[in-house]
Amino acid sequence: MYYNDKTLVFLNGDWRYAEDAQTSLYGQTLHYGNGVFEGIRAYKNDVGFNIFKAHEHYERLHKSADLMHIKIPYSVEELVSISYELLDRNNLTDAYIRPLVYLGANMALQPTDEVNVFICAWKWEKYLGHDPIKAKISSYQRIHPASQHVEAKVVGHYTNSILATTEAKKLGYDEAILLDYTQHVSEGSGANIFIEKNGELFTPSRGNILPGITRQTVLEICKDHGIKVTEKPISKEQLLEADTAFFTGTAAEIAPIAQVNNTVFPLSWEDSIGQSIYHIYRQKVLFNDLQNQTII
């Protein structure tokens, strides 16, 4: 699914076939989860392709690394350039890009000097599909902000997401929604959430969420188009009383939610603000980073 025998990946300054890229079995990331990553999408357009908000993604990668005491040996500009070259080398246009910064052999619970940078890409459809989905409020709580840097995209944090997603799917749902330690809505297992009520949008405020780049894009679209949106704590009751809702994330893009638990939202996706935003978003992703876009 992710690679074949001709797939090239970037690893520590070299271009290698995916099957030849190797790492230590004693790595701190493998044993303890201390590593950071990003998910980035490229979109084909009529002059080539555009990697959407590549700079913002790599700036966040650097911020995540700094919070975890990891020094990335490449600048944001270098990482953006490598990503465009990666797609060119693999003849990809519509693609998902996965940069991973992982650590070398270290059994101690402290930073290690060996920092590895791996970047790969593959074709990947919308993570949650195109149809409105059913979501389940998870029995698992989102990571407490006093225990981890929730604003960092850290490898180990996603065990929380795996547990929530697995539970939801076993119960017949497509995705999970996690509450934070205050019992307010936090986010999905890998996406932020917006709810619509009486013609307005609401989304959980920062502090107990990973503030996503797609989430920020939706906020920008709302500002540009006069759509009222409020960042605030959202209770479970407010979620269930919403007219409709949607997830946002690089992998999921903008994904409509038709149902949470046993509650079916009364407003159809076709009549929602979310669908209007999605159409604007689809145009925005094609030409957001013109100065770096590859022309083919």
Contact 205, 180 (CB under 8 A): no
> What values do phi and psi take at 200, rounded to 5?
-125, 155
Does residue 244 come out as left (phi exceeding 0), alpha (psi in the -120 to 50 range) or beta? beta
* CA dist list (Å): 42 to 9, 140, 294: 16, 32, 11
SS3 of 232, please? coil
Q: Which residues pair with 36 in a beta bridge?
A: 101, 154
User: What's the one-letter identity of residue 205?
Assistant: S
Written as one string, the DSSP assignment of 122-160 is E----TT-SS-EEEEEEEEEPPPTTTS-TTS-BGGGHHH
Nearest residue to 177 via CA among 222, 127, 235, 253:
235
Tokens of 162: 């795996």
Instruction: Indicate which residues carry an active-site annotation.
Output: 153
